[in-house]
């Protein structure tokens, strides 16, 4: 109790909490884009359920990983070498997650741009993509992003209550933002393509970090924000042209 009271009255602890919440929310954007694109392929009656289940399980997974934080930290220790470069289990997880993102985003782009197979793909997508398959893929990416965010959190603070609060707040933000984001992505096909491009960039970043090449997150999210701003201007321009055509 004294420990929690000391944290509650510590300005440094509050600053660490605010910083960690902001970081977790930003890292959650990657996960949320993937969840929105994936669940939009499900039948309408299953989409909300899949998003809530996926994000809820992400919360459970992250809290479970936080309870084993001492073990998670050991994942950064090299376990084998290839060509003189040491790889840890964290590196392996990041590389595997990056490859999965590249495969998934590339497949979705192919479905969107192939004029011949597009109709068949759309007709069969809801048959081949079941609720369990969607939840499984969401959890797979949840694991990758959770390990990455928790290791980053451990580097920012050693206080477990601060990490738990930051994770809960970030996942709640994801939960409330998931529906509007999914509707927006589904209503704007060009935004879907932009989001898939983001996933490819994120996948390449995960692979690069897995091979030891650190890519500053600020550069990635600045590029994403700039691209999103340009796309918003394009949407605004298209709507303005549509209104003038109607008039």
Contact by Cβ (8 Å): 150, 28: no
- CA distances, 229 to each of 62, 117, 203, 225 (Å): 31, 31, 22, 6
Rounded-to-integer distance, Cα 57 and Cα 139, Å: 7
Q: Mind giving me the DSSP string for 120-175?
A: HHHHHHHHHS-HHHHHHHHHHHHHHHHHHHHHHHHHH---HHHHHHHHHHHHHHHH
Which residue positions in the chain have pLDDT lower than 50? 122-128
Rounded-to-integer distance, Cα 86 and Cα 136, Å: 30
For the chain, the structural domain boundaries read: 2-75+83-246
Contact by Cβ (8 Å): 72, 147: yes
Q: What is this structure's pTM?
A: 0.70
How many residues can be counted in the chain?
247
Q: Determine the pLDDT at residue 31.
A: 76
Q: Could you tell me the two tokens for 63? A: 């809290």
Q: Mind giving me the DSSP string for 85-106?
A: EEEEHHHHHHHHHHHHHHHHHH
């Amino acid at each position: 109790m004294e420990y929690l009271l000391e944290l509650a009255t510590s300005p440094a602890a509050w600053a660490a909490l605010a910083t960690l919440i902001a970081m977790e929310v930003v890292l959650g954007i990657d996960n949320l884009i993937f969840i929105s694109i994936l669940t939009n392929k499900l039948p309408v009656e299953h989409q909300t359920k899949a998003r809530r289940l996926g994000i809820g399980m992400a919360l459970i997974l992250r809290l479970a990983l936080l309870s084993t934080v001492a073990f998670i930290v050991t994942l950064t220790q090299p376990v084998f070498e290839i060509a003189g470069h040491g790889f840890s289990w964290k590196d392996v997880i990041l590389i595997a997650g990056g490859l999965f993102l590249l495969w998934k985003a590339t497949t979705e782009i192919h479905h969107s741009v192939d004029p011949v197979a597009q109709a068949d793909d759309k007709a069969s997508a809801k048959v081949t993509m079941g609720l369990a398959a969607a939840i499984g893929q969401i959890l797979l990416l949840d694991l990758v992003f959770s390990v990455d965010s928790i290791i980053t959190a451990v580097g920012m603070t050693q206080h477990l209550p601060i990490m738990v609060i930051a994770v809960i707040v970030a996942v709640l933000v994801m939960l409330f933002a998931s529906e509007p984001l999914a509707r927006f992505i589904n209503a704007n096909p060009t935004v879907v393509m932009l989001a898939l491009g983001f996933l490819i960039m994120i996948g390449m970043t995960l692979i690069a970090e897995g091979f030891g090449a650190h890519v500053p997150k600020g550069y990635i999210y600045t590029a994403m924000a700039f691209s999103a701003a340009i796309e918003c201007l394009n949407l605004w321009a298209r709507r303005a042209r549509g209104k003038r055509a109607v008039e």
